[in-house]
Amino acid sequence: MELKRPKKLNPKIIIYNVEDDLKVEEAINIIKEQNEELNKGEISYEYIMKTKKGNNWIISLDSDSFRKIMKSGKIRGLFWYPRLDWETSLFPLLTCGKSDVSQANRGYQNKPINLGSCRLKIREFIRPRQCFVCYRYEHMARDCIDRDKIFCTRCEEEKHKAAECPNEMSCSNCKRLNLRLKEEVDIKHDVKSRLCESYLREIDFIREKIDYGKPVPKIQ
């Protein structure tokens, strides 16, 4: 019997601040028409993320289109991007012509994409599944066996929240990582930190399952 390797997933990108009344099919057609790199690409709408700052779309696309659209940002001119919440702790921004790359950068840079009369910011989208009850990875809160408990994101102890925490920071995920692998990664951070080594390894683990078409260079 021939064993087949699991099929890899298409890369995803997030498009920031899409207009509220824009229809999916119409938007996909506009994206293809106005972005040469995506004319013949396979583009699929995944879902929408509603935030206080606007609607962000998650779309998947074939590896060739993904690489082209990420690369094309370099020749369309620079675009100023305001810093956004946690996303910018992992991915670099082009800000007034200078690259701001965090030490945790393991992904593709933000790029602009044309959509109608707008030029919207995009970046590669990777989000590990993290439970917001126990804060471990690979499951969601609705499936957590501890969903009736409260855990502090700062020190991992039960029955109090981070705002009330009197203890030093101690990441429960990195503590488990050290015990399991006999390593000594830093644990002095919040369990939701985007500089957390456990989080970054989850990112790398997910990226191994994605079809980028060619080996993906990591930015050091």
Question: Over the stretch 141-150, which tens digit does the pLDDT of each residue have?
Answer: 999 999 999 9
How high is the mean pLDDT of the chain? 77
Close Cβ partners of 115 (under 8 Å, ≥ 6 residues apart): 15, 18, 22, 27, 30, 31, 34
Q: How does pLDDT run across 14-36, given as a tens digit for each residue?
A: 888 888 877 888 888 888 887 77
Q: Are residues 114 and 28 in the same domain?
A: yes
Token digits of residue 57: 């779309």
Query: CA distances (Å), 70 to each of 17, 67, 133, in order?
Result: 18, 5, 35
Give the helix/strand (H/E) hosting 111.
Answer: strand 111-115
| The amino acid at 14 | I
Q: Are residues 20 and 71 in the same domain?
A: yes
The pLDDT value given to residue 169: 95
Q: Are residues 29 and 121 in the same domain?
A: yes
Q: Are 69 and 113 in contact (CB under 8 A)?
A: yes
Average pLDDT over residues 201-214: 91
Q: Are residues 180 and 118 in the same domain?
A: no
Residue range of the domain that includes 53: 12-81+110-125
Q: Are residues 190 and 147 in the same domain?
A: yes
Q: Domain for residue 155, yes or no?
A: yes
Q: Are residues 114 and 169 in the same domain?
A: no
Q: Domain for residue 60, yes or no?
A: yes
